[in-house]
Structures are given as structure tokens and as C-alpha cells.
Structure 1
């Protein structure tokens, strides 16, 4: 049986009897990506501030069931953008996992990549200096190169610079695919899916009465969809009409077309 589906073939999570049946009397444990799920994708990453309505919705849901944020953003950045600092957060694609009242709960085996990320950021800053429309976003365990606002020539130059650096450090860096962004991170066997499984374990969410539920929109969320498939529920956020969803196949089993639909879904789930 194929474990992936085309985006356009996904049943909506808003009116799916199959999803309701899967949940039944079980309690959901909800894992949420941030950009593209709780907030729309914006031209400037710093502008992706959580709306007051969505903040209230997330807080109400967290009163009913476990809620964790799983994001490529640095933890402190996403907490500031949300205006919420009392939820468990897996930031930096799961390299920085933090729980309120307990602190950092990342696996000790991940190690410290501060020097590698700093050197990579400095090299990109030098090679992309004066490249119009390109923005660097240094993070704890990666550096993102945003090119959404760049013209065709600047985009090509950015691609050339990024791939040249990857060729120079093939055993130390890898490229994370994303929406109008190149993100370079340490080449280690870790991703959002492994972070979710780690959270399920350390938070004690692996009991029979709990169903893990993951909502994400990006290619990096596919690891999490695959991780929960079979025992949990994956929900892809995005319209099939979006050019960035063209030809996309996903391990998610249900879909939501927009951030507004996410708000409706989470509101119903939190009742």
C-alpha cells in the first residue's frame, strides 16, 4: 500500500468522518509547525507574528490536551512571535527541545554545532554581500537564506553560492528544502520526525488513549508525517492550487487548505 498521497487527494480534516473515527474517544496530542500553519507565510520572517485570535485558540487547546510547537525557527524567536512561553517547543528543526518547568530536553547525542553554524553564516554573509532581496537568518543549529524577495539573477547567484558551499563541506553540511529558502544545517541524522518521536517518549504520550496529531506545511514536515503515520494523524496545511504544492506528494493523511482552516480545526478540537 502506498504511504503517500497527492495533495489534491487528501480529505479535509474539517469534515472527515475518517478522522473523527480515528480519534474516537482518544485524547489528541497536537504537534504544530509555526510558519504556514499558525501564521501565513510572509515576505519578512520577522513579520510572522501570531494573531490574537490564533493565540487564544492555541491556549484553549492546550488547556484540553498536550500541545507542542515543532519549528525550524529558534525556540526563543518563535516564543516571542507567538507571545506564548509556556508550551513545549522543539525549535531549530528539533535540535533545541524545551519543556516549561524542566528546561532543555534535547537528546544529549545531538552535540554542539555553534562553531560550524557561525562559520557557515560568516561565509554566506561574505559571498552574498550586496545580493539584493536575499536575507540571512542565523539560527542555533542552522542558517537560512531567504530569497523570496530576490530577482531572477540574485536567485541564481544565491543558488550557486549555497551549492558551492555544500560541495566544499559535503560531510558537515546538508540542505533542508523549504519555501523560497535554502537552509543549511549540520549533516546529522536528526529531523522533525525524530524530534516528535523523542517528545512522545519523554512526555509520556505513548499510551493507548492518546493519538499524536501533527500539522505542518513544508517539506521538512514530511519526516514528522511519516513518523506518526500508523499510530497518529498527519495533516498537511496548504491549498492544492498553491504553485509550491504542485506535484507534491505527502505522507499526511488529511489536509487543511489555509491558516484560517487550521484555526477552525483547532478551535473545534479544543471544545
Structure 2
């Protein structure tokens, strides 16, 4: 399996030769071709939050942002959310490992339970109003 991943990474690098603005990064289960520009999942999270706040005239610090991921490439988003009030990064992984996420869940079934809990909490809050 590791040999196949390295082969895919090597092929991706060969494919983008001559495109100096692109780079190849390897995640846990993916090989990504990305622009070298400062654009990653953390940048995307920041951008989305800023746009939502601006378009809806919200104070962005009053918005709770949740990012759930299972790959190395998600660490940029976890880092952004860790620094932010109302930011919640959740790593999905059965193994204990270093992460910038604030919390972890073991598998997609736990993610589903967590999300259902949020939905139930929201419905209850709306019913009380």
C-alpha cells in the first residue's frame, strides 16, 4: 500500500513538471495537486467565515464554526479554528495521534451521533422560544 502511494505521488510530481505554480502534497489516503499559493483548508475556513459574517452583518466571533476531518490536510483548518473563539476542530481517527484539532471522534458513526445531538439541541432551543 505504501509503495502504491509513493508511486502515485511520483506520477503526480512528473505530471505537474513545468507547472511551477503547483505542488504535490500527501495526506493520509490522498495525494493532492495544489497551487503553491497560500491556499489550504485553513484559508478556506477563514474565508467562508469572513464572507458569512460580512454578508449577514454578523460579528464573526459570535459564529460557531465546526470542522470535522480525518486527514493530514485538515490540520490547517484545525489550526485556524483552535485560534478562534467559537472554533471547533474535530479529528476522526480511532488511533490516538498528535493533532491541532480540539477534539476527536473515533469513526463516522460517532460523527453521526454528534451531529444528531446538535440537531436535537437546536430543535429543543427553538421549541423553548
RCO higher in structure (CA 8 A, sep ≥6): 1
Q: 1:33 maps to which residue? A: none
Distance 1:156 1:207 in 2: 41
How many positions carry a matched residue from both structures?
114
- Matching residue within 34, 42, 46 for 1:193: 42
- Give the deviation of 1:158 after TM superposition: 3.3
Q: Secondary structure at the match of 2:39?
A: coil
Instruction: Please tell me whether residue 216 in structure 1 is matched to residue 84 in structure 2.
Output: no
Structure 1 170/203 Cα, relative in aligned 2: closer, same or farther at 3 Å?
Answer: same
Q: Secondary structure at the match of 2:23?
A: strand
Q: 1:238 maps to which residue? A: 93
The TM-score with structure 2 as length reference comes to 0.73
Provide Cα deviations, 1:112-160, integer angstroms capped at 9, x if missing partner: xxxxxxxxxxxxxxxxxxxxxxxxxxxxxxxxxxxx6xx94x5554343
The TM-score with structure 1 as length reference comes to 0.37
Structure 1 161/256 Cα, relative in aligned 2: closer, same or farther at 3 Å?
Answer: same
Instruction: Please tell me whether residue 162 in structure 1 is matched to residue 12 in structure 2.
Output: yes
Contact between 1:200 and 1:206, CA under 8 Å: does it hold in 2? no
RMSD: 2.5
* Consecutive unaligned residues in structure 2, runs of 5 or more: 121-129
Provide Cα deviations, 1:100-119, integer angstroms capped at 9, x if missing partner: xxxxxxxxxxxxxxxxxxxx
More helix by percentage:
2
